[in-house]
Amino acid sequence: MNVVFLMNDSLRRDHVNAYGVPPPWKRIGREGEPFIHTPNLDRLAGESAVFDRCYCASYPTIPNRYDLLAGRYGFPTRGWQPLLHEDVILPEIVRAHGYLPMTIFDMPGLNTNDYNFNRGFAIWRAIRGQLGDGFTIDTVDRPLPAAARKLRVIPTTKQFLRNRSRWQYERDYMCGQTLSAAMDLLEDNWTRDGFVLWIDMWNPHEPFDPPEYDLQRYCEPGYSGDRIIYPQYGRADYLSEKDLNHIRALYAGQVTLVDRWVGRFLEKLETLGLDKNTLVIHTTDHGHLFGDHGLQGKPTGVLGMLYEVTTRIPLMIRHPGGIGAGRRIDAIVQPPDILPTILEFLGVPIPPSVEGKSLWPLIEGRVDRIRDVAFSGRYSRSFGRPDQVARMEADAAQFDGWAGVVRNAEPLTVTTEEWAFICPPADRPRELYHLPDDPGQTRNLIAERPEVAAELHRRLIAFLEEHGADPQRIARYRGDDGRVQES
């Protein structure tokens, strides 16, 4: 048996048709047309067990990869940082049991600066040229496609434009390159039984720069304004309605590009007969804000509230024998659950270090819940490991725009089937939403339902304590660090 894991970074759940989420906005000049076109992911969903309540745990990119590879919740104690020597991770676990772990990825942060997320893979291939990856150098500064005040991290965007200048055909786009390499690897191994192929695509993550024919499906007809491929984060007021509409179209075009390449990859799997003995997992790490809650991107610091748009993510699992196919599962699950799910499928013992729970009891319909609450968050750079703060800031800013006001601890989110509780440090206002009545999280019920907030707050503090969070950090969320909560 084999496993293929497909990661599409920053893929919003409402941008995969199969999830059936109401469109979050209207597209100017595209009224009456389908909101998003993802026929290949929709087909995969029909053949898979589809999880409707998968919530990210550690956020964003690099912390999420730790959760996935180690099957643990990283954010109580870890931030954007390299793997540690003592970490017990997927490739090393399966390799010790005779499986061949392979990975192909285009996210440069996974193996630069000693991050070592390729550790343990018998075969690994890094596809160069994503975003700020120092892959192409010349003396020509390409013109920015938008006003500088709307673009973030100008030097990084310029490096992307340099890298991107070498692209000519669709296969040159990052997901095209990455999945083409993955398809080559499948051809090389089509008779092999016993591989784990981890494919980490950064698309549809920004820069949002799809082929024109994908963009034209979604953009305002006749639009001639800025092409804001890498928008600034934070308060979205700096964008006009037309700007925002075009950014949303760029993203949608990028999603459709990704969908098409995932479809080509799955077709290759089928052509080679590998669909008969290969488990396929498709997911993302988090969503991305496009004016939702008045915010853009993945803001941090005091603006770092993790709403459903960001936390609730796609996850589908296709068993080669059809187990769970077509099943919609509304149980709360999280990325640390994926490692034990893979290991159980392969018949590999689950190490004691793993905190996640196998999803097979849910997929097979033996249970309907494995937990009643999800914890989502990111590690504040303000607490612990001061020696690494500058390094984490620099790496995160370069690769994922994870930058902000460092003195603030980041808001954490606790989600149940009914409620979402957003807990910033105690001197900032908390938020509570009743998800069945208010899925868009527009009515903060923190004043009306204090008993619910208190219980979820208690659960959060207990979770942080159980997972070894720094007491100084916990105090910020508990509210006993001498600060007064704003009313």
Footprint of another protein on this chain (CB under 8 A)? 147-149, 152-154, 232-238, 240, 296-297, 299-303, 397, 401, 403-405, 408, 427-428
Nearest CB to another protein, comparing residues 32 and 143: 143
In this structure, the number of other CB atoms found within 10 A of the CB of residue 160 comes to 24
Q: Measured from the CB atom, is 154 or 367 closer to another protein?
A: 154
Shortest spacing between CB 287 and another protein, in angstroms: 17
- In DSSP terms, 310 is beta-bridged to none
Query: Helices (DSSP H) in 47-109: which residue ranges?
Result: 61-70, 90-95
Give whichever of 96 and 147 is closer to another protein, judged by the CB atom.
147
- Name which of 293 and 434 has its Cβ closer to another protein: 293
3-state secondary structure of 231: strand
For another protein, the closer of residues 109 and 356 by Cβ is: 109
Residue 146 Cβ vs another protein, minimum distance, rounded to whole Å: 9
Q: Which residues lie across from 413 on neighbouring strands? A: 376, 422
φ, ψ for residue 223 (rounded to 5)? Answer: -60, 135
Nearer to another protein, 191 or 224 (CB): 224
Strand 412-415 to 419-423 pairing: antiparallel
Sign of the alpha-carbon torsion through 177, 180, 185, 188:
negative
Q: Which of 230, 256, 227 is nearest to 243 (CA)?
A: 227
Quickly count: other Cβ atoms within 10 Å of residue 389's Cβ: 16
- Closest distance to another protein from the beta carbon of 161 (Å): 16
End-to-end CA distance of the chain: 56
Task: Tell me the C-alpha distance between 461 and 8, whole Å.
Answer: 31
Angle at CA of residue 342, ends 65 and 173, nearest 5°:
50
Nearer to another protein, 403 or 474 (CB): 403
**Half-sphere exposure in the Cβ direction for 181 (13 Å, CA):** 22
Closest distance between another protein and the C-beta of residue 412, in Å? Answer: 18
Closest distance to another protein from the beta carbon of 486 (Å): 9
Provide the minimum distance between the beta carbon of 359 and another protein in the complex, in angstroms, as a whole number: 36
Query: What are φ and ψ of residue 170, in 5° steps?
Result: -60, -35
Query: What is the rounded CA–CA span in Å between residue 227 and residue 160?
Result: 14
Q: Which is nearer to another protein, 21 or 295 (CB)?
A: 295
Select 210 or 299, whichever has its Cβ closest to another protein. Answer: 299
Q: Which of 479, 459, 358, 473 is closest to 79 using CA atoms?
A: 473
Q: How far is the CB of 247 from another protein (least distance, A)?
A: 14
Q: How far apart are CA 338 and CA 281, in angstroms?
A: 9
Q: What's the closest the beta carbon of residue 291 comes to another protein, in angstroms?
A: 13
Closest by CA to 35, choosing from 47, 26, 44, is 26
Closer Cβ to another protein, 154 or 454, answer by number: 154
The alpha helices in 273-330, defined as continuous H runs, are 308-311
Rounded to an integer, what distance in angstroms lies between the CA atom of residue 279 and that of residue 342?
8
Please provide residue 176's backbone torsions phi and psi, each rounded to the nearest 5 degrees.
-65, -45
CA-wise closest residue to 174 among 150, 139, 209: 209
Q: Which is nearer to another protein, 129 or 299 (CB)?
A: 299
Do the Cβ atoms of 305 and 28 come closer than 8 Å?
A: no
The alpha helices in 324-470, defined as continuous H runs, are 338-346, 360-363, 386-400, 450-466
